[in-house]
């Protein structure tokens, strides 16, 4: 598995398993299958309600903890809770996570970030970052942080490649991690003629061509699936390379269009949206 070096020296796999929308039993099995297929990056979050299941999948796999890059996210209602990180580690049944993100720019996210910095200094977290932060919230974090974010997890795909954000992050060597890397399952993206043409050339699927584009764009990707055939396919993208001309052709389909448009009122409501602590048992 190829890795990237984050701005604090930590190495992170370029491809991982996303567990968003996976029920606990699905997440446990998907994590187990992914680790058996060679994955070493697993992404979860408080809000996914499957952290305990992810921990069980890791244990079930038999893969040593030190070989796994485990990532989770703090939900806004726990940003100021002193025990939030310890409770997350208990749910995952681990001593540390490799990457911890602030999940949403809601509530007292500056306090949440400072709590992550503290956990980082205590060795409970190997790297810290942000999820869904752009614009003013990102600016506030960068102006007030003691430890720079290593990763920002945002929507990114060929229809919305995040070129402007990438340019802003260059000076701080912050990596983009793409969610919806395949465009939220949109057939119109997946079946773009350029991907069909390249899939035939390289003997790959259209999805594999898109994921390979991400890798060559410098994105870290976490495609999610509970199907073993898709889990296997999504990581089988390191035995070919797109040419510069092919990358340029793909860039032409950029529509600067998101699939998910954040609703400011909804995002603000996350600050009081409590999660059920027993939901992932």
Mean pLDDT of the chain: 96
pLDDT on residue 5: 98
User: DSSP character for 70?
Assistant: E
169 belongs to a structural domain: yes
pLDDT on residue 262: 85
Contacts of 14 (CB under 8 A, 6+ apart): 1, 2, 3, 4, 215, 220, 221
Average pLDDT over residues 68-77: 98
Q: How do strand 99-102 and strand 17-18 relate by DSSP bridges?
A: unpaired
How many structural domains are present in the chain? Answer: 1
Rounded (5°) CA angle 121-122-124:
110
| pLDDT tens per residue, range 187-243 | 999 999 999 999 999 999 999 999 999 999 999 999 999 999 999 999 999 999 999
Q: How do strand 69-74 and strand 99-102 relate by DSSP bridges?
A: parallel
35 belongs to a structural domain: yes
Q: What is the model's pTM?
A: 0.95
Taking Cα atoms as reference points, which of 213, 221, 219, 220 lies closest to residue 241? Answer: 213
* pLDDT level of residue 276 (50, 70, 90 thresholds): confident
Helix (H, G, I), strand (E, B) or coil at 50: coil
pLDDT > 90? residue 281: no
pLDDT on residue 123: 97
pLDDT on residue 280: 80
| Separation CA 149–CA 95 (nearest Å) | 21
* pLDDT level of residue 137 (50, 70, 90 thresholds): very high
* pLDDT level of residue 185 (50, 70, 90 thresholds): confident
Dihedral (C-alpha) 257, 261, 262, 265: value to the nearest 10 degrees?
A: 140
Per DSSP, helices labelled H in the chain are 24-36, 51-61, 84-92, 109-121, 135-144, 163-169, 187-190, 193-202, 206-217, 228-235, 244-251, 264-269
279 belongs to a structural domain: no
Average pLDDT over residues 52-80: 97
pLDDT on residue 277: 77
Helix (H, G, I), strand (E, B) or coil at 271: helix
277 belongs to a structural domain: no
* pLDDT level of residue 152 (50, 70, 90 thresholds): very high
pLDDT > 80? residue 92: yes
Average pLDDT over residues 43-58: 97
> What CATH code is carried by the domain that includes residue 97?
3.20.20.100
280 belongs to a structural domain: no
Residue with more model confidence, 167 or 276: 167
Give the domain extent around 29: 3-272
* pLDDT level of residue 118 (50, 70, 90 thresholds): very high
| pLDDT tens per residue, range 28-43 | 999 999 999 999 999 9
179 belongs to a structural domain: yes
CA-based end-to-end distance of the chain: 31
| Separation CA 88–CA 91 (nearest Å) | 5
Q: Catalytic residue positions?
A: 48
281 belongs to a structural domain: no
pLDDT on residue 43: 98
């Amino acid at each position: 598995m190829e890795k990237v070096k984050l701005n604090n020296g930590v190495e992170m796999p370029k491809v991982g398993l996303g567990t968003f929308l996976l029920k606990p039993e699905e997440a446990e099995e998907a994590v187990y299958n992914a680790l058996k297929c060679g994955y070493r990056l697993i992404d979860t979050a408080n809000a996914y309600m499957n952290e305990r299941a992810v921990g069980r999948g890791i244990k079930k796999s038999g893969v040593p903890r030190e070989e796994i890059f485990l990532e989770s996210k703090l939900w806004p209602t726990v940003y100021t809770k002193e025990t939030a990180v310890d409770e997350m580690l208990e749910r995952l049944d681990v001593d540390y996570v490799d990457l911890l993100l602030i999940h949403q720019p809601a509530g007292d996210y500056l306090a949440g970030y400072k709590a992550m910095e503290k956990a980082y200094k205590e060795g409970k977290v190997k790297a810290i970052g942000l999820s869904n932060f752009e614009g003013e919230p990102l600016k506030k974090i960068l102006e007030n942080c003691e430890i720079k974010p290593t990763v920002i997890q945002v929507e990114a795909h060929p229809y919305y490649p995040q070129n402007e954000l990438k340019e802003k992050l260059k000076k701080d060597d912050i990596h983009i991690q793409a969610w919806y890397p395949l465009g939220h399952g949109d057939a119109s993206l997946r079946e773009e003629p350029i991907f069909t043409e390249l899939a035939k050339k390289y003997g790959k699927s259209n999805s594999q061509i898109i994921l390979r584009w991400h890798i060559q764009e410098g994105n870290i990707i976490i495609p999610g699936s509970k199907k073993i055939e898709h889990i296997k396919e999504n990581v089988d993208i390191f035995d070919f390379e797109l040419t510069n001309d092919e990358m340029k052709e793909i860039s032409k389909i950029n529509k600067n269009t998101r699939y998910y448009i954040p609703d400011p009122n909804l995002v603000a409501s996350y600050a009081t949206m409590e999660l059920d602590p027993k939901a992932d048992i």
